[in-house]
Amino acid sequence: MTKTWRKLSFMLVAALLVGACGTGGEESADGGETDGGGGQETVKAAWIYPSPRNDGGWSTAHDQGRLAVEEKFGDQVETTFIESVSEEPGAATRAIEGLARKGYDIIFTASFGFMDPTLEVAKKYPDIYFEHCSGFKTADNMSNYFGAMEEAKYLSGIAAADATQNGLMGKVVSFPIPEIVRLTNAFLLGAQSVNPDVRMKTLFTNSFFDPPAEKAAAESLIDAGADVLTQDVDSPATGQVAEPAGAKWVGYNSDASEVAPDAWLTAPIWNWAIYYEDRIQAVLDGSWESQSYYGDLSDGIVGLAPFGDSVSQETIDKIKEVEEQIKNDEFDVFDGPIKDQAGEIVVPEGETPTLEELLSMDYFVEGMEGKLPAS
């Protein structure tokens, strides 16, 4: 119940924002011809990634979605991508507009920093469809899409709690923004659901993709005594540190078990293929419409990667059970009671945070060590 409500309100907020910022784009006759809902024979689709497509994480997950589209639609689709695009607005706009000018029918921009550049180009090219990942702005020809990664983070936290020997976990964190704070809390809450005493240290790299900084942060966490590492940064550098240190590792974004086979527990992952195939089909059918998509465990956009050998069947069963509860809306990751670091109750028993509270979460939950910067 709570989850359905949250999804609805997310769309409501997004719809309000469309009114606030999406309208009034200047018309500029350019791009392909309008297809009046009649559909088309073939689709040219392009993706923009913030890091190399073989980063073993975020961009890899998106590129697997692109490859799935190629596989499914064959000759009906032509795809391309631009990787390692800087989030500096000038560079991002240039990359997106370059693709729009080349006549791509639909352009997916896969990083938060591409939001305003995507909107800017979308206004100039009303006949091209734009899809922005992880933001909150839309327009008549621009959707946004993301998913309830906190659900998968919570599940992976259970695996981490069963793996830790000394009860201290460590996380390499990118930015102190609400989305990341939410995911970090969800992971620890999942771990605490099976072992209330487990604690977690965090280190910020202030970047989504900076393998040397990620490696240094992971090493510091190992030195501080953490025996399970996890991350929300893009590369598998954290796992490369965990493996020789004999620690365990919960990755992120894609299955990177081959990087650190002994350390590997699992990873919360994105299955973008589900969404991308759907949207390409919509363009082919002529049924594409602007929307705010927020997927979850139920539709499979988020999930867990295959488990490592060291994860016991008992743990796996436990995770499957909670997964079913979440899918059936019997349980929400942020169901109260939840305490913040100071021990104050932030979500009372029997309540769930409102969407506003989730989207602006600016506190760490009890058991987190280290302060949230700039708050």
Partner 1 sequence: MSRASAPIRPRLVKRLVPSRSMRIGVRAGAVVCAFILAAIFLLLTGRSVGTIFGAMWDGSFGSPYGQAQTILAAIPLIFTGLAVAIAFRMRLWNIGAEGQFYLGAFGATAVAYAIPTAPAFILLPLMILGGMVGGGAWAFVPGILRARLGVNEIVPSLLLNYVGILLVDYMVHGPWSDPQSFGFPLGKPFSDSATLPTLGDTAVHAGAIVAILAALAISLVLSRTVWGYRVRVIGENARAANYAGFSIARNVVAIMLLSGALAGVGGMVEVSGVVHKIQANISPGFGYTGIIVATLARFSPLAVVPIALLFGALIVAGNELQTVGLPSDIVLMLQAVILLFALAGELFVQYRVQWRPGSSSSAAPAIPSEPERQAAASASPSIEAG
Instruction: List interacting residues with partner 1 (CB under 8 A).
Output: 17, 20-21, 46, 52, 80-91, 93-95, 98-99, 101-102, 112-113, 116, 136, 175-179, 206, 359-362, 374-375
Q: Tell me how far, at minimum, the Cβ of 115 lies from partner 1, in Å.
A: 8
Q: Tell me how far, at minimum, the Cβ of 177 lies from partner 1, in Å.
A: 6
Sort 331 into a burial class: Cβ within 10 Å, 0-12 / 13-18 / 19+. middle
Q: Tell me how far, at minimum, the Cβ of 205 lies from partner 1, in Å.
A: 13
Phi then psi dihedrals of residue 360, to 5 deg: -125, 25
Q: Tell me how far, at minimum, the Cβ of 35 lies from partner 1, in Å.
A: 23
How would you label 96-114 residue by residue, b for 16+ Cβ within 10 Å and e otherwise? bbebbeeebbbbbbbbbbb
Q: Of 2 and 84, which CB lies nearer to partner 1 in the complex structure?
A: 84
Contacts of 218 by beta carbon, 8 Å cutoff, 6+ apart: 170, 172, 229, 231, 237, 238, 241, 242
Cβ-contact 194, 162 below 8 angstroms: yes
Q: Of 85 and 149, which CB lies nearer to partner 1 in the complex structure?
A: 85
Report the distance separating Cα 301 and Cα 164, nearest Å.
28
Q: Tell me how far, at minimum, the Cβ of 96 lies from partner 1, in Å.
A: 10
Phi then psi dihedrals of residue 355, to 5 deg: -60, -45
Report the distance separating Cα 227 and Cα 196, nearest Å.
17
Q: Of 21 and 67, which CB lies nearer to partner 1 in the complex structure?
A: 21
Point out which residues pair with 295 in neighbouring strands: 147
Q: Of 86 and 325, which CB lies nearer to partner 1 in the complex structure?
A: 86
Q: Tell me how far, at minimum, the Cβ of 259 lies from partner 1, in Å.
A: 19
- CA 274, 279, 285, 287 dihedral sign is positive
Q: Of 10 and 252, which CB lies nearer to partner 1 in the complex structure?
A: 10
Q: Distance between the two ends of the chain, CA-based, in angstroms?
A: 32
Rg (alpha carbons) of the chain, rounded to whole number = 21
Orientation angle between helical segments 272-285 and 58-73, nearest 10 degrees:
40
Q: Tell me how far, at minimum, the Cβ of 1 lies from partner 1, in Å.
A: 24
Q: Of 212 and 306, which CB lies nearer to partner 1 in the complex structure?
A: 212
Q: Of 102 and 371, which CB lies nearer to partner 1 in the complex structure?
A: 102
Q: Of 204 and 249, which CB lies nearer to partner 1 in the complex structure?
A: 204
Identity of the residue numbered 246: G
